[in-house]
Structure 1
Amino acid sequence: MMMMSEHTRGKVRSSGYNLPISRSRRSYTWHALHLVGRFMRLLSVYVVYQYLTSSGISVAIFTCICATTAAFMFLIVHRPWKGRSLTTYQLVPSIINGAFLSLSYVLWGHGLRACGPLRTIMAEYVGALLGAMSTLILGKGGRKWQKVAGLMAMLASFYFLSQGWATSTFSPFSYIDDKRTGENIAQKNPIGFQSMSLVFLGGAFAAVFRVIARRVSLKTQMKRRLHVVTVTSAACFLFPVAVFEATQKKSGIGLEISTTVVGIFLANSVFGVFLPFYVDLMADERLRIPVGSARHLLVTSVCVCILEILYGMDFSFIGFLVCALSLGLGIFESTPLERGHGKSSQLPLHAEKSNVSLLEDPRMMSRVA
């Protein structure tokens, strides 16, 4: 018995030593999946941008086809009609949430065509700005000046983006003005806030969509089923708009069926709508990286730098770095959970959510296609 007990203790002791190693390996795996998933989603944004600018297809038709394809994928995978029946309290907000999602899709598409992929991707974090404003106005507790400083940093970042600091054409940090690549040379004036209002509104509607989705259900399985209802209702809301656009003569130009076009539609449906839901859900629950947080912005910034260089866009690394750092510092200063991440990451998920109000949670009011 003595030998057996010592042997058992040795096994327990060795398994205890191996536990942190297995956890770290698992964490690296989740981080790698998050990075790859985020990169593929942003890659689909650049592919869609090239297609929208080169063809005359209507944004409503494009988003309707992609949303319908993704809705069929969600329906096949989850089958929300099976299992416990959904209540009216869950169905009605989810259907209404589909209207906000459809609006965000249409505004996102128009903003992408007008502003380009970099500004559109960064403007998705406008939800963090709305969350910071609501926390400052309605939140309780101290750190008011830090929240104000964070809010001002985010406003400055979006202003710099609207003035073209992330492009080599208009960046004050660009010293080689003659070597500009891409078709963006034809652009002579900065985009400005008027054109960027489309992507700002799209990001705001996407933030409202996430708030409603989180408030309706906190359970993962129920969240997936309700998301199917939301995407399906969004496709239904987009359908009459797409039909109306298709009846117009000018809107139908550019809608040609070919292998390349079908591939673009499928790529955006899979990597732009279908998979990002699971990637963001995994990052939120496994890695504690909610959409709109500073660490989420870090992953996005790395992927954007790689894609801007690969596609030969009008890109200024130093200007983009200033915009991203200003936005990240603003999110960090104005968000309570960012400062308490080191302590909260050791707690279970239900313990983290129990003491966080709706307006103080960055997962409630922040956005990421």
Structure 2
Amino acid sequence: MMSPKQNLEDRGGGGNSSQSSNFRQMPLQIIHVIGNFMRIWSVYSMYRYLSQTGASVVLFIFTCLIPASILFLILQKPWKGRPLSNAQVIPSVINGGITALYFILWGKGLKSCGPLRAILAEYSGAILGVLSGVLYGRRGHMWKKVYILYIPWIPFSDSPDVEARTDQVVGMKEMLVPIVAGVLSAFRRVIARRVSLKNQLKRRLHAITITSATCFLFPVAMWDMIIGSTSVELPFSTWAFSSTIFFGVMLIFYVDSIAEERLHMVFSSPRHLMVAGACIIVMEIVYKMDFSLLGFLICAAILGFGIYEATSLDRVRKDSLGKSDASNGVFEDQIEMSLPT
């Protein structure tokens, strides 16, 4: 039995340990902020390039994925080390098809809706993917789905001109595209977690996923070049292509992996949204977009509250599953996606 003095020492040591842990995590948090800032910067540069040149979204993404997949293969070397089983490779290849569809839908949503709405719609879609399983059959919580889906339609313009605001109204069809892309993004993360248990294995399988996504995009890009596009020529912009390759595809994967493994911060979390929101505000000001800071802050606060409510429902569901059947792992991946941060 421990004495009261020992208990006090343990409590004091626990506080010092918590402070030391936060201090050690500070560099990782800085890396996470910088990585997300560079990724969002690449999104804005991609949007400006697509909107000004009228280039094909599919061709642009395909052109960026080719060097990204080559670099992933060189860095991770999935053919070396412990041989990968078919139960790991086949789902990763299928995940490549889902990733290719995600890139196409998200790129088209970015071009039609703008970067701010596309990014928020991606968060809404990711949370919707979590809530779809948690709230299934619970009509009392359907309002959580409704206002999360409503977020991207909130006006963000400060322009007093009524005609200008009317021109910026985004229809339901346009907004559904990035929302579906967000659902696919959540789905591909679930598959990646399910087939990879170790960090190194996760990186090797991700190289296979990006390579297979490039292969899936090849016939679509060729079809778009021959039939779908009015011009075969793809204007070149060094910053738009390089930032998308290195920051939008490659760096963000490693940054999110570090945040998830070391900081326990996943994409569908309020902290992740807070970092992205700060980066969006900076980019909206730098790129001189027609931006309402107050409207965006209200929107981000409501979306953050929705994320918090979604994760709280997931924790309740996790507790109930643990009490009923500790070995039941049906909702394991959905719960893991929304760990409290």
1:19-68 per-position Cα deviation (integer Å, ceiling 9, x unaligned): 55543322111111101101100010000000000112211111111111
Contact 1:134 1:359 in 2 (8 A): no
Match for residue 135 of structure 1? 134
1:312 is matched with which residue? 288
Name the counterpart of 1:7. none
1:221 to 200, 212, 218: 200
Give a deviation string over 1:69-117, Cα, whole Å, max 9, x none. 1111111111111101110000110001000000000111111110000
Q: 2:251 aligns with which of 265, 270, 275?
A: 275
Normalised by the size of structure 2, how large is the TM-score? 0.84
The 3-state SS of whatever aligns with 1:283 is helix
CA positional deviation for 1:337:
8.3
Once the two structures are TM-superposed, the CA of residue 331 in structure 1 deviates from its matched residue by 1.2
Counterpart CA distance in 2 for 1:157 and 1:165 is 15
Aligned to 1:152: 143
Name the CA distance, whole Å, in 2 between partners of 1:327 and 1:200. Answer: 14
- 1:63 matched to 2:54? The reply is no
Separation in 1, partners of 2:270, 2:255: 17
- The Cα RMSD (Å) is 2.9
Unaligned segments of structure 1, at least 5 residues: 1-14, 170-176, 341-353
| CA pair 233-323 structure 1, distance change in 2 beyond 3 A | same
Higher helix share: 2
User: Is contact 1:41-1:276 (8 Å) kept?
Assistant: yes
Q: Is residue 131–residue 145 contact of structure 2 (8 Å, CA) maintained in 1? A: no
In the alignment, structure 1 residue 335 sits paired with structure 2 residue 335: no
Structure 1 residue 129, shift from structure 2 partner:
1.6
Aligned-residue sequence identity (percent) comes to 40
Count of equivalent residues: 316
Query: Equivalent residue of 1:295, what SS?
Result: helix
The 3 A distance-change label for structure 1 pair 89 and 58 is same
Deviations 1:316-338 (A, max 9, x none): 11111121111111111121388
2 CA distance for matches of 1:287 and 1:107? 30
Residue 123 of structure 1: CA displacement?
0.9
Q: Given the superposition, is the C-alpha separation of residues 329 and 339 from structure 1 closer, same or farther in structure 2, using an over 3 Å criterion?
A: farther
2:169 & 2:111 partners in 1: Cα distance?
A: 15
What displacement does 1:185 show?
A: 4.0
CA change 1:189–1:23 in 2 (3 A) is closer
1:74-89 map, 5 Å: 74-89=72-87
Which structure is richer in relative contact order (CA contacts within 8 A, separation 6 or more)? 1
Once residues 284 and 251 of structure 1 are traced to their aligned partners in structure 2, the CA distance between those partners, rounded to angstroms, is 43
User: What's the secondary structure of 1:111's corresponding residue?
Assistant: helix
1:197 aligned to 152, 159, 176, which one? 176
Amino acid at match of 1:77: L
Alignment of 1:100-139 (within 5 A): 100-125=98-123, 126-137=125-136
Mapping for residues 216-365 of structure 1, pairs under 5 Å: 216-248=195-227, 250-253=229-232, 255-257=234-236, 261-336=237-312, 357-358=331-332, 360-361=334-335, 363=337
Question: Is there any run of 5+ residues in structure 2 with no aligned partner, and where?
Answer: 1-12, 317-327
What is the TM-score with the length of structure 1 in the denominator? 0.78
Instruction: Provide the rounded CA distance (Å) in 1 between the counterparts of 2:168 and 2:15.
Output: 60
Matched, 1:28 2:18: no
Preserved CA contact (<8 Å) 2:127 2:268: yes
Task: Tell me how far apart the structure 1 counterparts of residues 297 and 165 of structure 2 sit (CA, whole Å).
Answer: 24
Q: What does the per-residue CA deviation read over 1:260-290, in whole Å, with 9 as the maximum and x for residues that have no partner?
A: x133212101000001111111111111111
In structure 2, the CA distance between the partners of 1:154 and 1:84, relative to structure 1 (3 Å rule), is same
Question: Structure 2: which amino acid aligns with 1:41?
Answer: R
Match of 1:51 in 2: 49
The corresponding residue for 1:345 is none
Mapped partners of 2:333, 2:258: distance in 1? 22
Residue-by-residue CA offset, 1:220-269 (whole Å, 9 max, x unaligned): 11111000000000000001111122224844355134xxx133212101
Which amino acid letter does the alignment assign opposite residue 156 of structure 1?
Answer: Y
